Amino acid sequence: MTYLSVSSRVAAVRERIAAACQRSGRSPSEVTIVAVTKTHPADAVEAVRAAGLTDVGENRIQELEGKVSTIGRQAVRWHLIGHLQRNKAKKALELADMIHSVDSVRLARKLSDEAAASDRVIDVLVQVSVSGEETKGGLVEEGAIDGIAEICSFPGLRVSGLMTMAPYTDDESLIRTTFRATRQLLDRAASVDGFEGRHLSMGMSNDFEVGIEEGSTIVRLGTVLFGERGA
């Protein structure tokens, strides 16, 4: 992987983001690219930094830890985007600037307890699953507002918004329906005490333009920046 190819891929992605923003009357400044470097070496992080990106995502704590120790805790904003086990909550707090994958009230409580114990407040997104696909993880739509309200009551968390994953499909209308329902859930959650609702983390390499058209503020991109991951 050369710096050159990554920087031209970043440029191409920025153009696609700008076009999606144009179609939906939004500004590209509202959309943050999180470069998902999982399975790639730390060089991938250096390459996206060289291309001007400031946010990097990993889906596993162990790999996040390796990247942070190589690249530096303050060098970029680190995002944890994959399922987190409660016994790794403390580690996650040390390593991540934002946790996208708060997928249960139990995990939220544990993160809040650990954050409060070290006098911190951590930025989180509540992961929701509105597609009916149980494998995706996250709060299901029914009862989601109650769950979000409980999570917002925990003092160690700043609940900045929602994260979701669309079903993996070529059916754009199904993807759009999922993203739109997530956006509507965000709007409904606006009345919850303590819910900031500034961010919608939705959109990956195959569906980020639809995500932006439906209101995404954070797109999590791996393949489109670095190519296919090895098996």
Residues recorded for the chain: 231
What gap in Å lies between CA 93 and CA 64, rounded to an integer? 12
Residues 1 and 226 sit within 8 Å (Cβ to Cβ)? yes
Please choose, out of 68-76, 104-112, 130-138, 198-206, the segment that lies near ligand PLP by the rule CB under 6 A: 198-206
Which residue number, 81 or 152, has a Cβ lying nearer to ligand PLP? Answer: 81
Name residue 64's amino acid.
L
Residues 64-83 that bind ligand PLP (CB under 6 A): 81-82
Residues 144 and 151 sit within 8 Å (Cβ to Cβ)? no
Residues 23-62 that bind ligand PLP (CB under 6 A): 36, 38, 59
Residues 226 and 37 sit within 8 Å (Cβ to Cβ)? yes
Per DSSP, the three-state class of 203 is coil
Residues 199 and 192 sit within 8 Å (Cβ to Cβ)? no
Q: Of the candidates 175, 204, 210, 218, which one interacts with ligand PLP according to CB under 6 A?
A: 204
Min separation Cβ 125 and ligand PLP, Å: 11
What gap in Å lies between CA 184 and CA 141, rounded to an integer? 11
Name residue 192's amino acid.
V
DSSP characters for 82-134?
A: S---GGGHHHHHHH-SEEEEE-SHHHHHHHHHHHHHTT--EEEEEEEE-SS-G
Binding mask 80-119 for ligand PLP (x = CB under 6 A): -xx-------------------------------------
Min separation Cβ 203 and ligand PLP, Å: 8
The residue with its CB nearest to ligand PLP is 222
Min separation Cβ 168 and ligand PLP, Å: 9
Q: What is Dmax (Cα atoms) for the chain?
A: 47
Min separation Cβ 191 and ligand PLP, Å: 28
Please choose, out of 42-50, 115-123, 171-179, 214-222, the segment that lies near ligand PLP by the rule CB under 6 A: 214-222
Number of residues that bind ligand PLP (CB under 6 A): 13
Which residue number, 36 or 157, has a Cβ lying nearer to ligand PLP? Answer: 36
Please choose, out of 7-15, 41-49, 190-198, 202-210, the segment that lies near ligand PLP by the rule CB under 6 A: 202-210
Name the site residues for ligand PLP (rule: CB under 6 A): 36, 38, 59, 81-82, 204-206, 220-224
